Amino acid sequence: MEKNAKIFVAGHRGMVGSAILRRLEMDGYNNLLTRTSSELDLRDQNTVSAFFKVEKPEYVFLAAAKVGGIVANNNYRADFLYENLAIQNNVIHNAFLTNVKKLMFLGSSCIYPKLAPQPLKEEFLLTGLLEDTNEPYAIAKISGIKMCESYRRQYGCNFISVMPTNLYGYNDNYHPENSHVLPALIRKFYEAKISGAGEVVIWGSGTPRREFLFADDLADACVYLMVNYNEEAFVNIGTGEDLSIKDLALTIQRVIGFNGTLKFDSLRPDGTPRKLLDVSKLTSLGWTYQTKLEEGIKLAYNDFLSKIPADI
């Protein structure tokens, strides 16, 4: 990937896209192409087609997506399915039509069956039923993987896919209902601390285990694979380490300095019991993560404090 190549980062304002943009800039890539959603609606076929014909990017990072936590995924099932399929269809197909040299599609670890063996190996895809609460989103992401595979097989396109684990970091979403668990807990503990509350209620039992990767580490892995990986099979990106939601909450509590107690609301859904990626393929390719969880939470919390949501 040449330093002056035209590189389109789709979704550059989101947590993942902005991290990829920072990584590319740090590495000296100087011809980066971005558009906000108001400038380019990736759900609109004609608009995307015109954009690719005019701009002719050479490389594409497809990090744009409609994302959210358990509640958002479950409440807006049609939106998550339709919008993600539309984005993927338009970008991947037009990358093919305009002879993009290489495209990277970013999926999600929710593509794996709910009760798949742990840790999750790439070959476990499509071997069982999905977790119901995020099934529409997962189906969209699986379709993206299969699109990249199919365009490679039929047309010889160098389209690759990566599957990140749960992410957190700069520019995260801290919405009280639509955010993922880690940023949601940062917000909860911060609000409890400033209000003097005696306890924080954690959704679910606290027993599910999750893996978390700092978004800037993901970006580093994405750029590394874009330069070094050219195969059909997708690649898991994660740490290979997990912890319980309870231990995650205790870690965030410690970072923020909340002195109250924790209460777990078992009436709320837990989601998948465990979700840990097997990253042996990634490490065999020469990449491992750098940011330890507590260090990353401190960085994310400082970013949160620098732009506290207006509704707090």
11 marked as binding residue: yes
- CA angle 76–212–293, rounded 5-degree value: 140
179 marked as binding residue: no
If you write DSSP's letter for every residue of 246-267 in order, what string do you get? HHHHHHHHHHHT--SEEEEETT
Query: Exposed, middle or buried: residue 22 (CB in 10 Å: 0-12, 13-18, 19+)?
Result: middle
Contact indicator for 277, 210 with CB cutoff of 8 Å: no
73 marked as binding residue: no
Position 239, amino acid? T
- CA angle 197–200–204, rounded 5-degree value: 160
250 marked as binding residue: no
272 marked as binding residue: no
**Sign of the C-alpha dihedral, residues 15, 21, 24, 27?**
negative
* Token pair belonging to 103: 């495209």
Q: Is the peptide bond before 119 cis (omega within 30 degrees of 0)?
A: yes
13 marked as binding residue: yes
266 marked as binding residue: no
Mapping DSSP to helix (H, G, I), strand (E, B) and coil, where does residue 218 land? helix
109 marked as binding residue: yes
CB atoms within 10 A of CB 277: 28
254 marked as binding residue: no
296 marked as binding residue: no
121 marked as binding residue: no
Mapping DSSP to helix (H, G, I), strand (E, B) and coil, where does residue 57 land? coil
165 marked as binding residue: yes
**What is the H or E stretch that residue 104 is in?**
strand 102-106
44 marked as binding residue: no
106 marked as binding residue: yes
* Token pair belonging to 4: 């002056």
Q: Catalytic amino acids?
A: 137
CB atoms within 10 A of CB 243: 16
108 marked as binding residue: yes
- CA angle 259–265–271, rounded 5-degree value: 115
175 marked as binding residue: no
**Cα gap 21→13, rounded to integer Å:** 9
Contact indicator for 11, 60 with CB cutoff of 8 Å: no
200 marked as binding residue: no
Residue ranges for the known binding site for substrate are 188, 203, 210, 270
Residue ranges for the known binding site for NADP(+) are 11-17, 106-109, 141, 164-167, 180
Residue ranges for the known binding site are 11-17, 106-109, 141, 164-167, 180, 188, 203, 210, 270
